[in-house]
Structure 1
Amino acid sequence: MAERRASLRVEDAKRKREDDTNGASGASGDHGDEPVLRQNKRKWTRLLLRELYDLGYSDSAAALEHEARVQLRTDAMKQLQTCLETQDWDGALRLLSTAADANEGSSAQSTSAQHEAARQIHMRSMQAAKEASLLVLKRKFLDFLMKKQLRAALSTFQNEILPFYHLEESEVNDLAVLLLCRDEHALEKVATIPWRESELLTRIELLASPDEIIPQGALRRLVHGEEEDDGVRSASAFAHDAQLKAECTAILLQHSSDVLDLKFSPNGEFMASSSRDGAIVIWKLEFQASSTQVSIKQKSKALHVLKCSEGAADCLAWSPDSQFVLSSGSDSSIIQQWNLATGKCEREFHHPSNGVAHVEWLPNGNQLLSGSADKSLVLWNTADGSIAYQWGGRRILDFAIHPGGKKVFILISGVEIREYDLVAKSDELFFKGEHLISCIAISSTGNHLLINFIQTEEIACLEINSETILPKYIGAKEKRFITRPCFVGQQNGIVTCGSEDAKIYLWQRDTGHLVATLRGHSSVINTVQCHPVHPNVIASASDDETIRVWKLTSGHQY
């Protein structure tokens, strides 16, 4: 074992020297970037302005706007911001009702038409404009309820929202429940609508064209390898490339047994991993972004090494605030909650039946869900460890909670997936296959669901809203062990999965085309996970007792 680990360290050192050499050879062309900077001067200035305002340097940002004669927000966007800050909901709706599609060309417009277009807000699409209007209407509805103007709230709900927007039943129920709240405190506790005007503005900015407003954190995301819709090339453009390139940036060697699971914390600063010997390692991750190019160098160190009370943890789950980790195993009914700061187990949840197949935290952080093959599904309150609700009668093999937090897709009996409504406590058939399913995974957007067929060795991607299956992904070997797939990229445009042949396969989501095969592990790869902040970074856990961290790059400079 020591010899093998030593050889891995030597291999890693050689790789680092090669990387340093390659980096040195590419560092001599700095002056070639100057024409690009001149051509994109306005874009880079607006990115800097956004960052200055985000960091609170308003005076510096104002001075830059004056000197560069560049505005962060257009006049139309400023007008919308004023309407939101003054709670002039009807004024905001009038502006959004005349919004233009940013994708529609304007080269053939007359001068008067161009002046009219300048007064319009340009959204990413007309659907985005409709979504923004719905956000404002929901906030208008909430505002009337806070002011105890029930008649006006009902009028907004019945006359402005329901006739013009095709809401899901759960969305209608969410709005209707607010009518029963007696005071502002109850409304704040129940409402899922953006409460503060600043939150509402941030949501609408994401729907607006980058020509109107640079989204919050855009420069930071660019530095970390993501893509903005104003033409900056980065990791989320993976899905448009014919091939991907990958580099193993780290090999983590703390475990001394098969590594069963790993999960990144939501804030991207930590990673938890578990092995067959009952060990759980909490890793501190450090990412350094080069100032000259989008290049991420990763350093990791073990922060805590924990020990499960019973058996091995083959399932890990982070709390939404990245402060706690849940661990559970198929050989134990105990779910342990570990405190990141102290490394101590501060609570245990005792599942009603033996063997926990899967556990996840709900997005609200107040509840968690656990399921067992012994026909029990339990919704827990995290504050006191009590059971909020329990379902029975079906074997729970795996599940995936929708990012909205109100529904969950549950794998039943190996061939059937049912959709559970956590609010109404009801369920219905969502998908029934002809072949055995080993596990499922949902995209971060909640639009796609991966279904792993173990017998046929293929992975299917189901578009949730239309319930249509995209081209299947073939190549990974899975006959004896469960290998968990995931989505990669800012737009979830890549599907990846480990394999029993010790390789990692990556496919284009929409075409099923194999774009990369990664080699390095020497045994079964149990799971691959995508970093939540750096979408071009993945980590893999293997029976060879190691974790590998990979950086993916496209065939284009960015």
Structure 2
Amino acid sequence: MVQPSSSSLPPADTAPPHTNGHSALVSNGHASSSSGTVTNGHGVAAAEKDAAQYEGDEGFVPLWEGSNLDRREFVRIALQAFQDMGYADTAQALQAESGFSLEPPAVALFRQGVLDGRWAEVEQRLGELPIDPSVDLTPVKFAIRQQKFLEALEARETKAALSVLRNELSPLNHDSSRLHFLSSLVMCMNADDLRARAEWDGAAGTSRQRLLVQLQDFISPTVMLPQRRLATLLGQAQAYQQRHHALTPSPTEPFSLLVDADPNSVAAFPTHTTHVLQEHTDEVWRVQWSHDGEWLATAGKDRTAMIWKVKSGFTLDKVFREHADPVSCLAWSPDDSILLTAAEAVIKMWNTEGQTGSCIATLARHEYAIGALAWLPDGRGFVSGGMDSKLFFWDLAGNVISRLARCPSRVVDLAISPDGTKLVCVGRADTTEPHLVPSRHSSRSVTPAIVAASAAAGGHAPIGAKNEKRISVFRLPEGASAGTGGESELLYEVVQPQELSSVTISSDSRYAIVTHAPKEILCVDLEDGTIVRRFEGHDIGKFVIRACFGGSSDNFVLSGSADGKVYVYHRDTGRLLHALPGHERTTVNAVAWNARAPGGGAMWASASDDRTVRVWGMLPAAAAGEGVGEGGGAARGRRGPRLRPIDRAMRD
């Protein structure tokens, strides 16, 4: 079954080490450290017993038996949390009973000195902190003196500010470029000009609190506990829980710490078919949602592309029938006003606005079948890649503004990262001559190897064993997104032993998932091409199966399969969560996640050789107790002329 890679993919969401730089560092008028006063005899005994355990060489006592968490660290975090919440008496009682203080007294005085702006005292206290003498405190001193300099300038004490600059900051020999910038601030006309140019909110703002947060990056947490540490830990726990659900709860929605998220729960992932779209008359190969989430485009072997309206219950809105061959590619423009389609070597641009839609342009520059289309993120152009090993950059008028001088492979699929910096292609390097011309009427669900077999029967040379299956990653030039084109730089290539048929990039532009025959999906770190995880369980076989990310933070990976099921994996673990039936045991060619489903719900679609597109959502609350299983049908609803909700009887 599923065999996750031993490689570790970083989680989709991770709370930063320090959060909420604006929060108060002093609670109820007291510094966030106290003296450890013992209030009763019982507390004395407990404190002596607890604290005495740290007098050994190891300096570690488990939180409980068998735990690898340190008891003293936990108590310190609890003390800080109680003080932050205003439970000063509780914090004092805990300190008395445990014998542990939040921070050494010197740290409390240092912290309060920063908040009060007593800079001479702050530097004195810095020398009294229990810090390893080998630690370089130059960055800490530079940050403190920079604050002192800015505050003097703000108060129009120019002479004092220049003295700090010359006699305190310069001798540190630290960050000369920053020092030059600080020097230029002397010419500011007034305090408002200073604050604006320095991007600093002044002594009366939050700059001192921010300075403390900055200093915590240089001072060990064993000395000065990071601000609101418990909130950071709980935020990380919450992010972990949310990565097991398809949707991120609203920030105002209560979040329970008492139960763990269950990704196998039907409430965690949409496993319920809500609609079956049946207007296509042959295999459906592609499915793609508009960026606003309100439209669904589908296309396939019947030589048509269709647009469905989500809010009206997936009624058919437009049908584009002008292609002479099966439609193999779809791509919505970023503003959803244009839909690109491709059939064999022909691209058509469609106006999606208005009552019927119209063909804006027909483009024919490729020699052989087009493998993929992708828009540049700014919407000012798009890219096409084909089996002729060519990559073209187009503008909105349908002109080729640039082309890749040499694409290393025949392009089966391509994707552009959301940040516009990378282009990723998958395909085969054609090292045999002549170039293979795919059959015009062969199913676009088959891989180049199958096309080769059929072409060989017509006298063309088959693909040789030397042909490599490549993932090629390019750096896009800055001008590519601005419409000026430019030469793309090949960063690296990853060679795989089997056919590669699709690529999708995560919303943070960091990872790509690539389908790899016969039974796996690769998750590739685009920074260096490292394969960080493999997802296994589905069956790609000899077909082009298109996978996608799903969930609010790309925390799932979805893939079709030759056995008629859709397979859902958890991205962080590689674990197979669901194998959803419903497509009558025919190949599921493509899946697509609706990132902006109307109403904020979770929604996705799958397309199959059974000539249907299925739309999936959460199981209705009313049916949750009726025993409806995965892939079960939707409740009976109004039947339109072009779609048929699954009958209740099909649930079994």
Q: TM-score range by the shorter chain?
A: 0.5 to 0.7
Is residue 355 from structure 1 mapped to residue 373 from structure 2 by the alignment?
no
Q: Distance in 2 between matches of 1:487 and 1:162?
A: 46
Aligned to 1:415: 469
State which of 520, 523, 526 in structure 1 corresponds to 2:589: 526
Compute the displacement of 1:339 (Å). Answer: 3.0
Query: Aligned letter for 1:385?
Result: G
Is residue 500 from structure 1 mapped to residue 554 from structure 2 by the alignment?
no
TM-score by length of 2: 0.48
State which of 234, 241, 253 in structure 1 corresponds to 2:263: 241
Q: Distance in 2 between matches of 1:162 and 1:344?
A: 59
Q: 1:389 to 1:299 in 2, by over 3 A?
A: same
Compute the displacement of 1:532 (Å). Answer: 1.6
| 4+ residue segments displaced more than 6 Å | 110-113
Is residue 486 from structure 1 mapped to residue 548 from structure 2 by the alignment?
yes
Query: Aligned letter for 2:608?
Result: S
Query: Aligned letter for 1:340?
Result: E
Matches within 5 A, 1:33-432: 76=22, 106-107=80-81, 159=177, 225-228=247-250, 232=254, 241-244=263-266, 246-286=271-311, 299-329=313-343, 331-341=344-354, 342-382=356-396, 384-394=397-407, 395-413=410-428, 415-423=469-477, 425-432=488-495
Q: 1:232 to 1:312 in 2, by over 3 A?
A: farther
Is residue 437 from structure 1 mapped to residue 493 from structure 2 by the alignment?
no
Aligned to 2:574: 512
Compute the displacement of 1:227 (Å). Answer: 2.2
Where does the alignment leave 5 or more consecutive residues of structure 1 unmatched? 1-73, 78-103, 120-156, 164-208, 213-223, 287-297
Query: Aligned letter for 1:107?
Result: A
Higher RCO (Cα < 8 Å, 6 or more apart): 2
Aligned to 2:32: none
Q: 1:517 to 1:388 in 2, by over 3 A?
A: same
- SS in structure 1 of the partner of residue 81 of structure 2: coil
- SS in structure 2 of the partner of residue 480 of structure 1: coil
Q: 1:239 to 1:525 in 2, by over 3 A?
A: farther
Residues 505 and 516 in structure 1, CA contact (< 8 A), matched pair in contact too: yes
TM-score by length of 1: 0.56
Q: 1:351 to 1:243 in 2, by over 3 A?
A: farther
Where does the alignment leave 5 or more consecutive residues of structure 2 unmatched? 1-19, 24-76, 89-107, 116-174, 182-227, 233-245, 429-467, 478-486, 625-652
Query: Aligned letter for 2:492?
Result: L
Q: 1:371 to 1:76 in 2, by over 3 A?
A: same
What whole-Å deviation, never above 9, does each CA across 1:58-96 have from its counterpart, x for those lacking one?
xxxxxxxxxxxxxxxx9959xxxxxxxxxxxxxxxxxxx
- SS in structure 1 of the partner of residue 366 of structure 2: coil
Q: 1:386 to 1:529 in 2, by over 3 A?
A: same
Q: Distance in 2 between matches of 1:434 and 1:474?
A: 16
Aligned to 1:94: none
Residues 267 and 533 in structure 1, CA contact (< 8 A), matched pair in contact too: yes
Aligned to 2:224: none
Q: Distance in 2 between matches of 1:238 and 1:344?
A: 51
Q: Distance in 2 between matches of 1:493 and 1:533?
A: 16
Q: 1:553 to 1:401 in 2, by over 3 A?
A: farther
Q: Distance in 2 between matches of 1:162 and 1:422?
A: 34
Is residue 544 from structure 1 mapped to residue 585 from structure 2 by the alignment?
no
Residues 283 and 301 in structure 1, CA contact (< 8 A), matched pair in contact too: yes
Is residue 476 from structure 1 mapped to residue 538 from structure 2 by the alignment?
yes
Q: Distance in 1 between matches of 2:262 and 2:492?
A: 34
**Which protein has the bigger strand share?**
1
Residues 238 and 489 in structure 1, CA contact (< 8 A), matched pair in contact too: no
Q: 1:512 to 1:225 in 2, by over 3 A?
A: closer
- SS in structure 2 of the partner of residue 107 of structure 1: helix
- SS in structure 2 of the partner of residue 405 of structure 1: coil
Q: 1:501 to 1:520 in 2, by over 3 A?
A: same
Query: Aligned letter for 1:422?
Result: L
What whole-Å deviation, never above 9, does each CA across 1:502-553 have from its counterpart, x for those lacking one?
0011011111111111111111111000002137211001111111011147
Q: Distance in 1 between matches of 2:379 and 2:254?
A: 34
Q: Distance in 2 between matches of 1:233 and 1:482?
A: 41
What whole-Å deviation, never above 9, does each CA across 1:424-449 have from its counterpart, x for those lacking one?
52212142223322221111221221
Compute the displacement of 1:373 (Å). Answer: 1.1
Q: 1:390 to 1:76 in 2, by over 3 A?
A: same
Query: Aligned letter for 2:614?
Result: R
Query: Aligned letter for 1:227?
Result: P
Residues 258 and 276 in structure 1, CA contact (< 8 A), matched pair in contact too: yes
What whole-Å deviation, never above 9, does each CA across 1:437-488 have from its counterpart, x for those lacking one?
2221111221221121113x11121233364433321111111211101011
Q: Distance in 2 between matches of 1:420 and 1:352?
A: 20
Q: 1:503 to 1:367 in 2, by over 3 A?
A: same
Q: What's the % identity of the aligned pairs?
A: 26
